[in-house]
């Protein structure tokens, strides 16, 4: 499948969740769908499906797992935009959730999406041991050593000049953790081997760091129209970024090396990896 075909498949599946008429408290479901269906590249669910495929699994059976990782990702974006966090007004070219529904509803929408992510996995038709493995992997990416821990580190170190290792510690939790989880959940959904899980994790770790460095670059080099949100906010808020630490040329070099590393490690666990190599290359030069 192509990236566009994957995206269409994932978007169609996500569309089936949380219809307002199914709930008496329609406003909460509407808020959840507003962010869940706001577009985006669907990289994380795409990774679930592709790693499931190359590990020998059934992509249709893994589709709820792919949707679940996008639910959890969406929760993190809603909370990241809240006034108590980054206080952003735009996300993907549209007003952020709290700007439309209010801070309280947006917070609950994020909470709900996180809970429903695990419910979606556990209610899937995968064998019980595969459901449990996927849920455990996702919990690790979401919790204290994942997104929440990374967000906390980002907050308490705000205003301090950080080293590469400290920046990488934050990124490993805020960005890479969920990318690693997506890749490994695809393997777990397929019942893949430990060798496959290891290769998937190494690929995602390299892609995840490259993704964050590119993100930092785009906050300086892109436009609001391309990015779908205000640019220059990192510098304005004196945030620690790889761009601030190293500059454009060094960052571009790091992204290129990490992308090559990601492509190399795939050979250690898989024989069919052309799509994933192309995906890594495309993320390295993305403009949004």
Taking only the tens place, the pLDDT of each residue in 130-152 is: 999 999 999 999 999 999 999 99
Place of tokens 């454009």: 248
E strand segments, 70-114: 90-91, 94-95
Among residues of the chain, what percentage have pLDDT more than 70? Answer: 94
Query: pLDDT tens across 146-177, in order?
Result: 999 999 998 898 888 899 999 999 999 999 99
Tokens of 173: 């939790």
Q: Based on the number of CB atoms within 10 Å of its own CB, is 120 exposed (0-12), middle (13-18) or buried (19 or more)?
A: buried
Domain tally, the chain: 1
Q: Is 94 helix (H, G, I), strand (E, B) or coil?
A: strand
- Is pLDDT at 275 greater than 80 in this prediction? yes
CB 7 within 8 A of CB 29: no
Band (pLDDT 50/70/90 cuts) for residue 227 is low
Q: How far apart are CA 20 and CA 271, in angstroms?
A: 44
- Going by C-alpha positions, the residue among 143, 161, 159 that lies closest to residue 151 is 143
The pLDDT assigned to 22 comes to 76
Query: Domain limits at 17?
Result: 3-284
Q: How far apart are CA 60 and CA 103, in angstroms?
A: 36
Tokens of 100: 């439309």
Give the residue-averaged pLDDT of 188-213. 96
The model's pTM: 0.93
Round the average pLDDT of the chain to a whole number and report it. Answer: 92
Q: How far apart are CA 259 and CA 213, in angstroms?
A: 11
Give the residue-averaged pLDDT of 234-263. 87
CATH number, domain with residue 235: 1.10.600.10
The pLDDT assigned to 166 comes to 92
CA dihedral 201, 202, 207, 213 (to 10 degrees): 110
CA dihedral 217, 220, 76, 84 (to 10 degrees): 140
Query: pLDDT tens across 6-50, in order?
Result: 999 999 999 999 997 777 778 999 999 999 999 889 999 999 999
Place of tokens 């459901």: 131
The pLDDT assigned to 119 comes to 98
Distance set, CA 92 to CA 122, 219, 260 (Å):
30, 14, 28
């Amino acid at each position: 499948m192509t990236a566009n075909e994957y995206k269409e498949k994932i978007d169609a599946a996500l569309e089936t969740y949380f219809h307002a008429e199914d709930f008496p408290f329609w406003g909460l479901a509407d808020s959840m769908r507003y962010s869940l269906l706001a577009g985006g590249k669907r990289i994380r669910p795409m990774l679930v499906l592709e790693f499931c495929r190359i590990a020998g699994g059934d992509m249709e059976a893994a589709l709820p797992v792919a949707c679940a990782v996008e639910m959890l990702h969406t929760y993190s974006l809603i909370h990241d935009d809240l006034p108590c966090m980054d206080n952003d007004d735009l996300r993907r070219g549209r007003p952020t959730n709290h700007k439309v529904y209010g801070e309280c509803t947006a917070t609950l929408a994020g909470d709900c999406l996180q809970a429903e992510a695990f419910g979606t996995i556990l209610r899937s038709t995968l064998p019980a041991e595969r459901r449990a493995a996927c849920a455990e992997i996702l919990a690790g990416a979401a919790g204290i050593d994942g997104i929440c821990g990374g967000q906390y580190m980002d907050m308490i170190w705000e205003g301090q000049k950080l080293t590469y290792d400290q920046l990488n510690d934050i990124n490993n939790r805020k960005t890479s953790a969920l990318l690693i989880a997506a890749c490994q959940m695809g393997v777990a959904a397929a019942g893949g081997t430990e060798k496959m899980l290891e290769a998937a994790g190494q690929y995602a770790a390299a892609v995840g760091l490259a993704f964050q460095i590119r993100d930092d670059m785009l906050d300086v080099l892109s436009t609001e129209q391309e990015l779908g949100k205000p640019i220059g906010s990192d510098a304005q808020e004196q945030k620690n970024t790889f761009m601030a630490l190293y500059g454009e040329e060094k960052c571009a070099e790091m992204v290129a090396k990490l992308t090559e590393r990601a492509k190399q490690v795939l050979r250690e666990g898989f024989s069919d990896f052309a799509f994933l190599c192309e995906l890594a290359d495309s993320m390295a030069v993305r403009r949004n």
